Amino acid sequence: MGSRISRYVRENPGADFILAFIITLIIVALIYPFAEDIANELTNFGFFSLVAGVILQVLALRNRTEK
């Protein structure tokens, strides 16, 4: 199982960043009513994480199609 995960991460380098975005979004949804300022800062972090993940995925896809 460990080799499947490591192969997936090698083939999809943006997966970690996209997963971080999803987790951040869940956390923001839970803490927003209690700590708006912190939730807004976490939202910014999540957005940049998503952008980084998408860019890495696009580059990986581009490299796969060039081969």
What is the rounded average pLDDT of the residues 13-29?
94
- Cα dihedral sign, 24-14-11-7: negative
What is residue 36's predicted lDDT score, i.e. its pLDDT?
A: 93
Does pLDDT of 57 surpass 80? Answer: yes
This prediction has a pTM of: 0.80
CA distance 42 to 47: 9
Question: Sorting pLDDT into bands at 50, 70 and 90, what band is 2?
Answer: low
Does pLDDT of 10 surpass 80? Answer: no
Query: In whole numbers, what is the pLDDT of the chain averaged over residues?
Result: 89
